[in-house]
Amino acid sequence: MTQSAAPITMPADWRDFFALTKPRVMTLVVFTGLCGLLAAPGSINPVLGFTAILCIALGAGGAATLNQWWEADIDAGMKRTSNRPLPTGRMRREDARDFGILLSAGSVMVMGLAIGWLAAAILALSIVYYAVVYTIWLKPRTPQNIVIGGGAGAFPPLIGWIAVTGDITAMPILLFAIIFVWTPPHFWALALFVQSDYAKVGIPMMPVVRGEKSTRRQIVAYCVVLVPVAVAPWAIGGTGPVYGIAALALTLAFLALSLPVGMRQAVPGDGMRPEKRLFAFSVFYLFALFAALVADRLLIDAGVIA
């Protein structure tokens, strides 16, 4: 290796530690956790509510940090991830590992002591699910990695809900199910336009292993399944019509945007516009759906709707 390949550019500072927590992805994790907490029946002391959400954010950030500690070599080989703190050499791997363990363990302990041990146990489960089950075990082994691994990101609203109620009922399970079914179209839309990156580093993502055609069909299939799953909280009487109508409209729009992705055969260099649009909409979709859940609850509490 030549001297010019040495990647060390500048020492780590707080921005690198912050970047390890994948803050952009975690905004939606924190938002869905907060919405779970706000939509749950009953109330929670605001300080405790804030603590619960902080613990979800720190735990998710800790898991994301451990994910990057483990995958530093893989990240170095992909254009999208090569600028992260570890592949660029701005940070020592041990520092990232220690930071990840500190955030993970600290968040679970505080959640347990301040909120309750059921919420803490599910937070611990989701951290282990993302950092170990998904990152170490599933991701390098099977194209179903994100289908099964999607469970990790589906826990936050369940944790938020349990922080208020202390028990698991049909509603938080349905919120889990929504994110679980949403994850494959969210990620495979992106994987379709970065698949050469994944192929280069030997990660068996669906488009690489089963091919584009099959991935496209599966994206549409998950969007079809998402329609009844997203509407189910209303159908079982867990929400009012504001959520129900918003869920139906948003999920049908998501399905409609998946159809051009499902039907077409992209040619290299054609911009992959339908795939990029679907990926962007997937993020908006979950924000809007969970916002509708909270709006519905506030309107019911205010007596505006029944």
- Which of the choices ligand FPP, ligand HEM, none does residue 190 contact, using the CB cut-off of 5 to 8 A by kind? ligand HEM
Minimal CB distance to ligand HEM: which residue? Answer: 153
Q: Which residue has the tokens 């055969």?
A: 265
> To 5 degrees, how large is the angle CA 256–CA 199–CA 184?
30
Q: How far is the CB of 291 from ligand HEM (least distance, A)?
A: 13
- Which of the choices ligand FPP, ligand HEM, none does residue 56 contact, using the CB cut-off of 5 to 8 A by kind? ligand FPP
Q: How far is the CB of 70 from ligand FPP (least distance, A)?
A: 9
> To 5 degrees, how large is the angle CA 154–CA 159–CA 162?
135
User: Nearer to ligand HEM by C-beta: 234 or 285?
Assistant: 285
Q: How far is the CB of 195 from ligand HEM (least distance, A)?
A: 12
- Which of the choices ligand FPP, ligand HEM, none does residue 43 contact, using the CB cut-off of 5 to 8 A by kind? none
In the complex, the residues that contact ligand FPP under the rule CB under 6 A are 25, 29, 56, 59-60, 63, 67, 71, 81, 123, 126-127, 130, 139, 152-153, 155-156
- Which of the choices ligand HEM, ligand FPP, none does residue 21 contact, using the CB cut-off of 5 to 8 A by kind? none
User: Nearer to ligand FPP by C-beta: 184 or 240?
Assistant: 184
Query: Do residues 299 and 242 touch, judged by C-beta distance below 8 A?
Result: yes
- Which of the choices ligand HEM, ligand FPP, none does residue 60 contact, using the CB cut-off of 5 to 8 A by kind? ligand FPP
Structure tokens at 166: 């202390």
Q: How far is the CB of 1 from ligand HEM (least distance, A)?
A: 27
Amino acid at position 83, single letter: N
- Which of the choices ligand HEM, ligand FPP, none does residue 216 contact, using the CB cut-off of 5 to 8 A by kind? none
User: Nearer to ligand FPP by C-beta: 186 or 216?
Assistant: 186
Spatial CA neighbour of 35 closest among 290, 299, 220: 290
Q: How far is the CB of 160 from ligand HEM (least distance, A)?
A: 12
Q: How far is the CB of 170 from ligand HEM (least distance, A)?
A: 20
State how far the Cα of 129 lies from the Cα of 91, in Å rounded to an integer: 25
Structure tokens at 231: 């509407």
Minimal CB distance to ligand FPP: which residue? Answer: 153
Spatial CA neighbour of 275 closest among 204, 194, 210: 194
CA 63 to chain centre: 12
Q: What burial letters (b/e) apply to 68-84, b meaning 16+ CB within 10 Å?
A: bbbbbebbbbbeebeeb
Structure tokens at 232: 């189910």
In the complex, the residues that contact ligand HEM under the rule CB under 6 A are 22, 24-25, 27-29, 32, 146, 149-150, 153, 179, 183, 186-187, 190, 283, 286
CA 74 to chain centre: 20
Spatial CA neighbour of 176 closest among 237, 108, 126, 118: 126
